[in-house]
Amino acid sequence: MRFIDEATIRIQSGTGGNGCASFRREKYVPFGGPDGGNGGRGGDIILVATARRNTLMELRGHALWRAKNGIHGTSRMRNGANAKPVEIFVPVGTRIFDANSGEVLADLTDDEQRWIAASGGRGGLGNINFKSSTNRAPRKSTQGTPGEEKALRLELMLMADVGLLGFPNAGKSTFISRVSSARPRVADYPFTTLAPSLGVVDMGVEGTFVIADIPGLIRGASEGVGLGHRFLKHVQRTRLLLHLVSLGPEEMESPLERYQAIREELVKFDPELAERPEVVLLTKSDVCSEADTQAAADALRAEIGDRPLFVASSVSGRGLRPVVGRLWTMVREKQ
């Protein structure tokens, strides 16, 4: 399934039914009086968050959502039926914007959370409502009010406890495949991850937590360069960050330089995001000498201060357990 995290739709709620102006006309009932019923309410457009979906792909092929109108009132005081609401199911973590102004209208972060995007029009009143002691035969009735029409832009932001950061080919996909149930594509070339994916880490009887694998970032990502710039927003939902820095010999820059480059992109994109708790992990220690690994760790330690720093190899599994344990401790502290 393709991962679609943005969609634009138009919605139109139903118009209310008209009220009826009629009079009771029956044999042997000389003073029947008004008996016009009310119109029914137009259908609402409701967005419903559900954990059973993880992409907005279904909305790409359904650009217009329209609810039915309310039924008109009729004689004999029969009210028109209300139109059924139209429910649009979206993944948990969907943020809704006004497509014209860019204003944030709603943020659906809980399963089964509902938001009325467009209210149906009210039904009109029948002439039975205008009867009074001075007006025994009112001919007045009202029409139903029109529904609402809006253009919405939906943006999915993945909900996760831990967000993975790093340059392409830093070992993010291998890491998440070793510690969680996720099975992303893994290969020995950059940009194997083209879409974010979620992995659930099982901590046994203690519980679970969720890791988001974000496509690799490069310099200029905050300004729209590379594949990862569209997915920086997904990191905003995470409680803490796991920054992976490769020790692989194919890297042209030092681990410290690559760490600093990603941090600069975070600050440019969202300063608050750069202040989020962070764990730094030096990966691919199995292809680097102990001396070079220690030198890289010392340089990073001087840069990150008291932030946790670990060295591990996702391929062999060496050093992964302490990393997962520390992430679990920090996630529980944030709950």
Q: 321 or 335: which carries more pLDDT confidence? A: 321
The second-level CATH assignment, the architecture, of 162-334 is 3-Layer(aba) Sandwich (3.40)
Residue range 266-278, pLDDT digits in tens = 888 788 888 889 9
Distance CA 125, CA 132 (A): 15
Distance CA 281, CA 256 (A): 12
User: Shortest CA distance to 94 belongs to which of 117, 126, 118, 61?
Assistant: 117
Report which residue type is found at 190: P
Q: 324 or 222: which carries more pLDDT confidence? A: 324
What is the reported pLDDT for 189?
38
Sheet holding 6-12, edge to edge: 64-66, 6-12, 149-156, 94-98, 104-108
Phi-psi region of 112 (alpha: psi -120 to 50; beta: other; left: phi over 0): left
Q: Residue 116 pLDDT > 70, yes or no?
A: yes
Residue range 200-227, pLDDT digits in tens = 888 888 888 888 877 656 555 444 444 4
> What is the token pair recorded at 63?
């650009």
Report which residue type is found at 188: D
Q: Residue 295 pLDDT > 50, yes or no?
A: yes
User: Shortest CA distance to 248 belongs to which of 296, 179, 303?
Assistant: 296
With cut-offs at 50, 70 and 90, classify the pLDDT of residue 253.
confident
Q: Which residues of 276-300 are buried (b: 16+ CB within 10 A; e: fewer)?
A: bbbbbbbbbbbebeeeebeebbeeb
Most confidently modeled range among 176-190, 247-261, 284-298: 284-298
Q: CB neighbours (10 Å) of residue 104?
A: 11
For domain 6-156, give the fold: Spo0b-associated Gtp-binding Protein; Chain: A, (2.70.210)
Tell me the average pLDDT of the chain. 85
Query: Are the CB atoms for 117 and 11 separated by under 8 Å?
Result: yes
In the chain, where are the structural domains located? 6-156, 162-334
With cut-offs at 50, 70 and 90, classify the pLDDT of residue 30.
confident
Nearest-Å Rg of the Cα atoms of the chain is 29
Q: Which residues of 3-26 are buried (b: 16+ CB within 10 A; e: fewer)?
A: eebebebebbbbbbbbbbbbeeee
Measured at the CA of 74, the angle between CA 72 and CA 75, to 5 degrees, comes to: 165
User: Shortest CA distance to 251 belongs to which of 229, 223, 274, 284?
Assistant: 284
> What is the token pair recorded at 264?
């600069």
Report which residue type is found at 58: E
Arithmetic mean of pLDDT, 11-28? 93
Residue range 161-202, pLDDT digits in tens = 898 888 877 788 888 888 887 664 444 434 344 456 778 888
Residue range 226-247, pLDDT digits in tens = 444 555 666 777 889 999 998 9
pTM value > 0.75: no
Phi-psi region of 49 (alpha: psi -120 to 50; beta: other; left: phi over 0): beta
Distance CA 224, CA 218 (A): 10
Distance CA 147, CA 68 (A): 10
Q: CB neighbours (10 Å) of residue 137?
A: 12
Arithmetic mean of pLDDT, 31-46? 94
Strands 104-108 and 208-213, sheet pairing = unpaired
Distance CA 179, CA 322 (A): 11
